[in-house]
A and B are shown apart, each in its own frame.
Chain A
Amino acid sequence: MSHLRGRLSIRTIITLSIASITIVFMLSTGTMLFNIFTDAVTENAYISTKEIVNQVNLNLGYYFSDILYVANYVKNLARSPNSLSSGYLKENIRVILDSRKDMVSLLLFSKLGEILLNSSDIDVKSAPVIASQSWFQRAQNAQGNFTFNGPYIQNIYEAQYPWVISYSQEIRYETESGSESGILVIDMNFSTISELCRQTKLGTSGYIFLIDSEGGIVYHPRQQLINSGILTEDLATINDHVFGSYTDLYQSQDRLTIIDTVNHSRWRIVGIAFIDEIIARRKDFASLYVLVSIIGTITTLGVARLISNKVSSPIKRLDNLMRKVEAGDFDVVTTVEGSREVAHLSHTFNLMVTRIKELTTDIIHEQEQKRKMEFDALQAKINPHFLYNTLDSVVWLAEQGNTEDVVKMVTALARLFRISISKGREVITVGEELEHAQNYLYIQQMRYKDKFDFSITVPEELQNCPTIKLITQPIVENAIYHGIKYLQEPGHIWISVRAVDSSIAITIKDNGVGIRKDILDRILSDEFHQEQTNGDGHGIGVRNIHERIRLTYGTGYGLVLESELDCGTTVTIRIPKSAPIHPIKGVVSK
């Protein structure tokens, strides 16, 4: 079977091929879909994030354009004569400020920093303080253009510290004495901008911050952390981009940075989104994909296994049956069902086994016949030999004139042959069998001139039990020729019959020379039988008897030999005990 080792079973081959094809197909399709999906998700996420930043930027733009609108309104009002001194201007700006929470104050200063118009009733700080501030100086130097300043802490009113962004511009206003120029400052609440930016979340923790034209941070939702250096922004890279977007890895986080300029100001808005968050769905999809792949793989393997089982199990069963046949059991009958091919195979297998069985039975029968013929031949072979010797003895007795012994001997011979023939029957009674042995012994005793004597004991109840014929005489013959013949002193042969359990034991015991141990061990084996029959042709060997008994009655019966050198040999014939039969008519025990 070594040539079969290392080969895959049909089941494994089918399982592997189905599973691998399906899994490869499933995974490649899945991966393709996954890539398409994630690309779409990523693109959408980028677009929507940019839109959010854009929206905030638009709002910031509106915020600044609102200021410009208010400023223009005030400028126009100031140009109308006496609007300042009459209080008309002040009334109007009060209305604007009351309606707008994001506007902290609107003031007009002279070019020396003296207060001309105050939207509030609270006193302003002294002229030098005002004139020293950056928004004032920048407006003075801007030649009539507007400037945005801040954010910073307003420094106009006492004990008020709001964060503001200042719009400042040098404007002209009309007085009774003519046109003068002053500095207009509109302070906007910075919290409006910071709220707008703070409330905008990109993903879950992405945020928006503002930088000025110098690249300094104007607003950051985590300003305190920036101040303390706990948090840093990659300002160098951001300043390299005027506007646009890029992704990079900053502090071990993949970030999407979106930069745009804010209308009407020199600020830029920067949106930071964490890619992990904005495409969080991709992660969900990835885990779903992995889950489905695992389930799909397991299911595929299961289904492949089922299919391969289905296909291979009848083959496997046929294989098992074939192994039984291989071991010699021809009684197997397949009931293997399955596909058409398998059913046909199964049917053919049955035919084949039946045929083999028939052939084998024929062969066995032939062999048995052959062996029987062999026995018959052997039996036929002794008879003339024995007959010649006996007749020789009869002639010798007759020459002596010993008529009485002649009559005895011829009578014994006649009985011997009558039982031998026994009307062609194979089975005779134990009594007849032993009588046969007795007649043989009697003739031999006469021939050998009282070299030995013998005794036969048969219990009455076993007399008529059946046995195959001519099994005792050959043993007795052996006992005489191989045991007693070489003795100096008189020999003795004891034959006894007894019932042992459900069998009958016929014991032939002699006090001959015994058998050597090595021969005794081999005496029932094949080779010994061969040697003996090929040799002097003497033996209807014990083995033949043994074989005959076993062939007739089964392996539980046969011969048992015990022997001790110089003490004798005991042969026990064991046959089954069966119901008594009638002896052959005309044979009467003496």
Chain B
Amino acid sequence: MKPQSPIAILALACLVCLAIGCTRPVSIKNTVSKTTANPTIEIACITKMQTGEHWGAVKSGARLAASEARVTVEFYAPMSEADFQKQYQLFQEAIQKKVDAILIAASDEAMLAPLVAQAKAQGIVVVSIDSGFSNAEVDFHISSDNFKLGEDAALAVLKLHDSPIQATIIGSLSESLNMQERIAGIVSVLDNDPKSSISMDFSSAEESIAKEIINRLLGPDTRINVIFALEENSAHGVADTLVSKKSKGAPVFIAFGSSKQQISLLEKDIIDLLVVENSFNMGYLGIMKAVELIKGGKTNTVSLKTDYALITKETLRTPENQRLAFPVY
């Protein structure tokens, strides 16, 4: 053992301390920067279509959640809800990109079901929002209780209009589970009255198609006295026709959604009842659940129901309904 070795080691220790002292502040800076906090988590959010206030609210919720959880969220959607092949393609692409999670609002749930299984097999967390799957096991599902939405809307109709009820339902796509559930909810109530009759049509969430349908249905000798429009674009189309016809004994009009146009129509008595969902929360909770599941969290339940309200012209401006119908993001 040479006599200078302890001194050398002491000097080395001093150097190490000095090095640590100098480098540490840099790493403090690094921990504070937030954009790179979860750089690995990437989530694809695939909605039914690109436009619409409902989807805008969903995306806002997702964005807030993404910034809070510090994850990256990319939004994908076909231009039109009718283009569900495109949605299938987007889902496939998301799987190929090997994202960590996919939020999906399924247009054609039967068509997408195999992809859900494929994504899960690859370890991708799949969370369905807005509209679920009847034949595929997603990791988590967040939406309104669509059956109850239909039921409540139909019950409200019974108060607004006497029997017999001749109802027509205009939905977006018959392949969407949320449409099927809403229709089932309405039918379950109205079927209790044997004198009532129900017809249904699908607009592919296109205003013009909805308009055509309603024009066709509301002929001079129509007996339709209740109209359900199950999403905002259909409601806009139906309202167009109703505004132009504005005649005696206009049918009771129940619309799902909370677009500015719908609210305006509600105030003008064209729409009698608005069924307003909490779209924002679907997006927010969808991302939060996905992040939780990616990080290995265990959930006791596999689904969550978001809140909703039935709003009339009179109840539009209550504080609660204001907040739901005019969300501040």
Contact = CB atoms under 8 A, between A and B. Distances in A.
Interface of A: 152-153, 155, 158-159, 161, 163, 190-191, 194, 204-205, 219, 222-225, 227-228, 230, 280-281, 284, 288, 291-292, 295-296, 299, 302-303, 306-307, 309-310, 313
B75 interface: no
Interface residues on B, range: 35 or more
Contacts of B161: none
Contacts of B324: 227
A153 B264 CA distance: 13
B1 A309 contact: yes
A292 B261 CA distance: 64
Given A153-B326, A161-B260, A228-B278, A303 B320 contact: no
B267 A158 contact: yes
Chain A interface, DSSP helix/strand/loop, else mixed: helix
Interface string B1-18: 101011001100100110
B164 to A, nearest CB: 35
Contact of A284 (B31, B61, B261, B322): B31
A293 to B, nearest CB: 11
A161 B9 CA distance: 74
B233 interface: no
Nearest to A313: B1
Tell me if B's interface is mostly helix, strand, loop or mixed. helix
Contacts of A225: 281, 284
B99 interface: no
A299 B20 CA distance: 15
Nearest to B64: A222
A205 B264 CA distance: 37
Contacts of B281: 224-225, 228, 230
Nearest to B304: A230
A294 B327 CA distance: 53
Contacts of B327: 223-224
Contacts of A296: 13, 17
Contact of A152 (B24, B28, B317): B317
A131 to B, nearest CB: 15
Nearest to B13: A299
B190 interface: no
A194 B328 contact: yes
B93 interface: no
Nearest to B283: A224
B189 to A, nearest CB: 26
A296 B285 CA distance: 47
Given A155-B317, A222-B64, A280 B5 contact: no
A418 B24 CA distance: 103
Contact of A303 (B6, B317, B328): B6
B17 A295 contact: yes
Contact of B1 (A161, A222, A303, A310): A310
Contacts of A153: 317, 322, 326
A288 B20 contact: yes
Given A153-B322, A295-B16, 18 more contacts: A159-B267, A161-B326, A163-B328, A223-B327, A224-B61, A224-B281, A224-B323, A225-B281, A225-B284, A228-B281, A228-B306, A284-B28, A288-B24, A299-B9, A299-B16, A303-B10, A310-B3, A313-B1
Contact of B323 (A155, A204, A227, A307): A227
Given A228-B281, A230-B281, A281 B5 contact: no
Contacts of A284: 24, 27-28, 31
B235 interface: no
B9 A306 contact: yes
A415 B320 CA distance: 147
A561 B3 CA distance: 63
Contacts of A152: 317, 319, 322
B10 A204 contact: no
B13 A224 contact: no
Nearest to A223: B328
B246 interface: no
Contacts of B326: 153, 161, 163
A205 B16 CA distance: 35
13 contacts: A152-B319, A153-B326, A204-B32, A219-B328, A224-B284, A224-B329, A227-B307, A280-B32, A281-B28, A284-B28, A307-B6, A309-B1, A310-B6
